[in-house]
Amino acid sequence: MTGLAARRTGADGAFPIGIPVLALVASAGGVEALIQVLGPMPSDLPAAVLVVQHQDPAGPADRLADILQTRTALVVRAARDGDHLRPGLVLVAPPATHMIATPYAGLGLIDSGELPPARPSADLLLATLAVTCGPRVLAVVLTGRGHDAQAGIRAVHHCGGTVLAQDEATAEQFGMPGAAIATGLVHAVYPLRDLARAITRRLASAP
């Protein structure tokens, strides 16, 4: 296998992050959706988990991580610049920052500034995961307004990753999942109650 096909599957070693990564991205209504997705997951989940939820930039850095930690067996904390990815650890993007994947199985945090309004940015996280993880990325687009993540999932698809989305009937706001689905690049659409099971099943067979 050579060329673009090889790069998309990671067969030529083009993707430096060698573990599966689950990226959960959300906006309005996302806290409850994240709880329902992370709640049933086992503590030995064979993937690193990254969470981007649009938040008030003035909010406490640990608030979302603290909420999620009480509802899941996984270890959850706010991400710090230079953190390393490891299976079973959930790292949550803090308010007023963007979170990116680096080539060293780690994370970088970037001050979001005044613009763009979507902060943290799902597009930035997903695009950097695409080029560092390739087919090991499983991106899940949850409830939210707007279209953040639409460009990011194009990058994930281009590099061989997988994209799931929450369905309209269970999304408090269908803007983000709807925009993702409109690309034609989403592999499957699920009601919120079925997403945890679908994610766990896919991670069990991850490359």
Of 134, 148, 136, residue with least CA distance to 25: 148
Of 78, 137, 82, residue with least CA distance to 108: 82
Active site residue 27: yes
Catalytic residue from among 12, 27, 81, 194: 27
Q: Quickly list H helices, the chain.
A: 3-9, 30-38, 63-69, 122-133, 150-158, 175-182, 192-204
Integer Cα distance of 196 and 203 in angstroms:
11
Angle ∠(27,22,63) on CA atoms, nearest 5: 45
Structure tokens given for 31: 């806290």
Are 24 and 51 within 8 A, CB to CB? yes
Q: Among all chains, which residue has been given the structure tokens 């707007």?
A: 146
Catalytic residue from among 112, 121, 123, 148: 148
Integer Cα distance of 139 and 136 in angstroms:
10
Active site residue 54: yes
Integer Cα distance of 51 and 102 in angstroms:
16
Catalytic residue from among 43, 54, 98, 121: 54
- For the annotated catalytic residues, the residue numbers are 27, 54, 148
